[in-house]
Amino acid sequence: VEQAAEEFTKAIKLSDGFALAHLHLALASDRLGRPADAIQEYESALALEPGLVDARYALSAMCWRVGDSEGAVQLLRQVLKENPPYAAEVRYNLGLELIQTGKLDEAKDELERAAGLKPDSARILAALARVQTQRQDLNTALQAAQKAVSLEPGNPEYLYTLGEALRLKVDLKGASEQYLKVIALDAKYRGVHRQYGLTLRQMGDYPAAAKELQTAIAEDPNDSEARYYLGSVLLKLDQTESAVEQLTESLRLNPFESGAYITLATALRKEGKQAEAQAELQKSQEISKLQSDAGKSRVLLGSAQEHVDKGELDAAISDLRQAESLSPDYADVQYELARA
């Protein structure tokens, strides 16, 4: 690959208008682990030949890998205008990018279109199930997840997705069955012990829940959610001291979980530490207000981005000014305001 890159570079030096040479040098740079060089070469190829759809699609993937979700979304929309033969894959990737940017309704629309083009793609159906779960459209999520599993019953990702939909539908027995299938296929699948432990907690089986959550923490000591859930379970088992330890560590890892402060306050009260318990409740109230303001800011940010897409810059700036007043330390708001 290194030799190929050298030859493509020579070709470009001899004829800088050789768009395909830039495209293949970009592909080689990507394989050699040089993302910045790859992006530069893709852009050079497109500057010479804007109709190189494959270059635009590949560049969108590079943007995703370097964390530029907005850039990836813009490029994928441009690719779709050319109606490529792989439109289902483009819409699938666009749906995933839109999820990353918090545009769940748009993501749902793209994934539904992708599923319409490829109705037997388990990967697309599983992604659709995940976004529908996030949108709380649980019946539709369940149908998509069940179809994905029927197409690929041995895929732990799809089984996990189905388990999550069932848990949120409060079919705890059904969810447990799916989590156990995931564990049988891949005992280290990310998050499965935590979610199974949470389900067992909801079912009232606290000893089994504690065991699963301890397994989750052993695999990932920085899993703040698992520690929060374990703390609440230990409190039910009257292991108050251990509960306080887990809840305190959970809040060290994630100080923005208001529910953990409330549970910690309950544990401290059981230990007779009334003043400390009251302090934790005060922190919970402060976090709840911050989260309310942040939630409003995210809605305003999304609205502003839609205005920008439509060229309505005055409306975008108005939304962003409101978001800034609510969350002055929200970097994305400052960035988008500067752009607008």
DSSP calls for 173-219: HHHHHHHHHHHHH-TT-TTHHHHHHHHHHHHT-HHHHHHHHHHHHHH
Q: What is the pLDDT, as a whole number, of residue 33?
A: 86
Question: Cα 259–264–267 angle (5° rounding)?
Answer: 135
Q: What is the pLDDT, as a whole number, of residue 131?
A: 94
Distance CA 133, CA 158 (A): 13
Distance CA 177, CA 105 (A): 30
Distance CA 297, CA 328 (A): 10
CB 142 within 8 A of CB 165: yes
Q: Residue 140 pLDDT more than 70?
A: yes
> What pTM did the predictor assign?
0.77
Q: What is the mean pLDDT of the chain?
A: 89
Q: Residue 34 pLDDT more than 90?
A: no
Measured CA distances, 162 to 72, 96, 98, 131, 209 (Å):
28, 18, 21, 12, 20
Q: What is the pLDDT, as a whole number, of residue 293?
A: 66
Distance CA 192, CA 213 (A): 10
Give mean pLDDT, residues 163-181. 95
Q: Among candidates 14, 45, 16, 15, which has minimal Cα distance to 28? A: 45
Q: What is the pLDDT, as a whole number, of residue 30?
A: 84
Main-chain dihedrals φ then ψ at residue 33, nearest 5 degrees: 75, 35
Q: Lowest-confidence range among 3-12, 148-157, 283-292, 316-325?
A: 283-292
Q: Residue 31 pLDDT more than 90?
A: no
Q: How far apart are the first and last CA of the chain?
A: 42
User: Which residues are within 8 A (CB) of 215 and not within 5 positions of it... i.e. 6 or more apart?
Assistant: 193, 197
Q: Lowest-confidence range among 28-37, 225-234, 327-336?
A: 327-336
Q: Residue 233 pLDDT more than 90?
A: yes
Q: Residue 106 pLDDT more than 70?
A: yes
